[in-house]
Amino acid sequence: MAKNLVELQSQMQSDILKRESGVLKRFSVPKHTTAEKRFAVYQDAYQIRLVEVLSEDYEVTWKYLGDEQFYQLAVEYIKTHPSDQTNMRWFGRHFPEFLTQSPLSSDHPVLTEIASIEKALDDAFDAADGDTATMEDLAAIPPEVISDLTFKLHPTCRLLRQKTNALDIYMALVNEQTPDPLESFDETKYTLVWRSDMMCQYRALDAEEGMLVDLMLEGKDFALMCEMAATMQDADSAASRVAGHITNWLQSQMISQLIFAK
């Protein structure tokens, strides 16, 4: 094994991560400069590059927080979550979670929720293509099995269950408007993120539709979905409301597969 190289790389990496200088004595540089200055190019680049990735992936969170606070949080994140990915695309995947824990942000639940919307959109962007079920597939289903019908959500779909007006704040910031003041809710606010025709989409779901998507994710069938819808709003029209949602989901490419016993 390349013993000398093993030791050199360990020390060089550690000195880049911690901005230390133990490895400098092993460098040779021209007389007009110093090893310290030259090594600083690598040390600076590491942090600059990762802050840049975070500020691209969490651009709206950054807008909400302002430069200084976002930078502080980014630097803290970089320290606690060194990249272990071959693609920087996934470096920031723990950032929403990190925001719930960092003392700098843990009392602002809206931050995590805004960041989660951004992460869901990024994830939907290059998630697996998967199949897309259509209205024709639905029409082909024998009426006698409709009540047992279950649904496989498209792999690009992400259902966010939030407790603040993060989505409104997110949309205001994206549209360069002043966001409303922060609000917190007891009930769950559902946001659905997905991709259709290669474009990332998002929309708020009302309580009933949010519940239905939750049921769909749990693999519950059409009959149960209707039963639950009947407890939320007018019972007589429950089945037609659920059918309406299913039509909409199919048309917006949210469903991969309609599953029923043959």
Partner 1 sequence: MVEKPPFLGFGLGLRPQHYPEILDADKELPIDWFEIISENYMVEGGRPLQMLDRIKERYPVVMHGVSMSIASTAPLNMEYLARLKKLADHANPKWISDHLCWTGVHGVNLHDLLPIPYTEEALNHVAGRISKVQDFLGRCIAIENVSSYIEFKESEMDEWTFVSEIAKRADCWLLLDVNNVFVSGQNHQFDDGNFIEQIPVERVVQFHLAGHSEGEDVLIDTHDQPVCDEVFELYEKALKRFGPVSTMIERDDNIPPLAELLDELNRARQIASGILSPEQLKTAA
Give the range of 119-127, 140-148, 159-167, 225-233 binding partner 1 by CB under 8 A. Answer: 119-127
Of 260, 256, 38, 39, the C-alpha closest to 147 is: 260
Of 254, 90, 125, the C-alpha closest to 200 is: 125
Binders of partner 1 among residues 142 to 171 (CB under 8 A) are 155-156
Give the range of 123-131, 138-146, 210-218, 235-243 binding partner 1 by CB under 8 A. Answer: 123-131
Handedness of CA 101, 155, 60, 72 (dihedral sign): positive
Binders of partner 1 among residues 81 to 100 (CB under 8 A) are 82-89, 91
Least distance CB 19 / partner 1 (angstroms): 13
How many alpha carbons lie under 13 Å from residue 9 in its C-beta half-sphere? 5
For residues 199 to 238, the per-residue mask of contacts with partner 1, x marking binding by CB under 8 A and - elsewhere, is: ----------------------------------------
Q: Which of 18, 27, 67, 247 is in the footprint of partner 1 by CB under 8 A?
A: 27
Q: Three-state SS for 186?
A: strand
| 126 touches partner 1 by CB under 8 A | yes
> For residues 154 and 194, is the Cβ–Cβ distance under 8 A?
yes
Of 42, 40, 44, 49, the C-alpha closest to 91 is: 49
Give the range of 45-53, 57-65, 215-223, 253-261 binding partner 1 by CB under 8 A. Answer: 45-53
